[in-house]
Amino acid sequence: MSENVAIIPARGGSKGVPRKNLRRVGGIPLVARAVVAAARAESVDRVVVTTDDADIAAVAAEWGAEIVERPAEISGDTASSESALLHALDVLADRGVDVKVVAFLQATSPFIDPDALDEAVRVVRSRRRDSVFSAVETYGFLWAKGAGDAAAAVNHDASHRPRRQDREPHYLETGAFYVMRAAGFRAHEHRFFGSVGIIEVPERTAVEIDTEGELELARALAPLVDRTDPIDVDAVVTDFDGVHTDDTAVVDQNGRESVVVSRSDGWGVGALRRAGIPVAILSTETNPVVSARAAKLGVDARQGLGDKLSALREWAADCGIPLSRIAYLGNDVNDLACLEQVGWPIAVADAHPSVIASARVVLDRRGGHGAVRELADRVLATRQSASSSPTPQERS
């Protein structure tokens, strides 16, 4: 059968924002956000990332995309998105994929609305339009600079200022997605042809990232725009100080340190282990209390780590679990490297601001006050919900 295919061009080179497609918003790499959005659109049958970069390919594949290797000659600064799409269609044809509808998604738009994308695909699939694009309604008065930089009205009569309710809106492309008939796109080699339609999307999603400032803006908006997803992971890794503890220590006259931990956190770790979810503790410090606590909890602990990310990767490889399927719970700047590599970077409520900015989820509880238990409860609730959901056969 013919398919509706989402194609995401994501080249490695980017001058305005270096390694842009791998930068994170809401704790998720931009290319992965596009993959997830496409996968959530019910009418999209296949998600493809076309890239010239091995790191981008690895991340996209880990998040569920099919990969097309993009040739160097169409990967430079002047290469068009259309050339990447046409090449990907040729590769898919060679793989035996019959593409009916192409959904072109841009990873630089971090807030792609799956429902709007789904509507766009359905509109094109039903032949109501040949090509559609995402846009926001605007009543803005546009101006251009003319001769001598004199201002000239573009979309209005400057001598007449009607009220908003008395004006017809214009529509501004968001750049998030363009959906078109594959055959028509091949014939015209351009995203706009035939009968072109507009799919309105919420204004809060209309963010494109081409500068570091826009990246920071998107990160600030993410907690307001992103929906709260169930924490679906196969393993949990945590820091110790500031996560299992409140980041304070009691030192006696002999220099011996002691800390206070939460019994509630211990119960949460035990519940994860009983559910078959591996748990590990990674700590920069070397302290017998970490070993003692880990032994009591029955989990792996690795201490004295100058490079926590390498230790995380080694532990994940030993368990056979990809980083995208791991939740890492941290609180301070020495956790950032790990947080920026896992699928679920999570911060305790009183974490350092840079950790909160990097997190996909910020917990309600503080370190040492039930944060680990809160994470465990949310992970286990997701497992329980998935196991109780009816299969497609049961629903039918």
Torsion of CA 375, 113, 51, 67, to 10 degrees: 70
CB 10 within 8 A of CB 84: no
Q: How far is Cα of residue 377 from the mean position of the Cα atoms in its chain?
A: 23
Q: What is the pLDDT along the chain (396 residues), one digit of tens a residue?
A: 899 999 999 999 887 889 999 999 999 999 999 999 999 999 999 999 999 999 999 999 999 999 999 998 998 888 899 999 999 999 999 999 999 999 999 999 999 999 999 999 999 999 999 999 999 999 999 999 988 899 999 988 888 888 888 888 899 999 999 999 999 999 999 999 999 999 999 998 999 999 999 999 999 999 889 887 899 999 999 999 999 999 888 887 777 777 889 999 999 999 999 999 999 999 988 888 899 999 999 999 999 988 999 999 999 999 999 999 999 999 999 999 999 999 999 999 999 999 999 999 999 999 999 999 999 999 999 998 877 655 545 544
The model's pTM: 0.84
pLDDT at residue 258, rounded to an integer: 79
Radius of gyration over every alpha carbon of the chain, rounded to an integer in angstroms: 25
Query: Is the fold of 3-137+170-224 the same as that of 235-388?
Result: no
Torsion of CA 286, 290, 292, 296, to 10 degrees: -150
CATH superfamily, region 235-388: HAD superfamily/HAD-like (3.40.50.1000)
CB 108 within 8 A of CB 175: yes
What residue segments make up the domains of the chain, in order of their start? 3-137+170-224, 235-388
CATH superfamily, region 3-137+170-224: Spore Coat Polysaccharide Biosynthesis Protein SpsA; Chain A (3.90.550.10)
pLDDT at residue 167, rounded to an integer: 86
Distances in Å between the alpha carbon of 113 and those of 62, 229, 343? Answer: 21, 15, 20
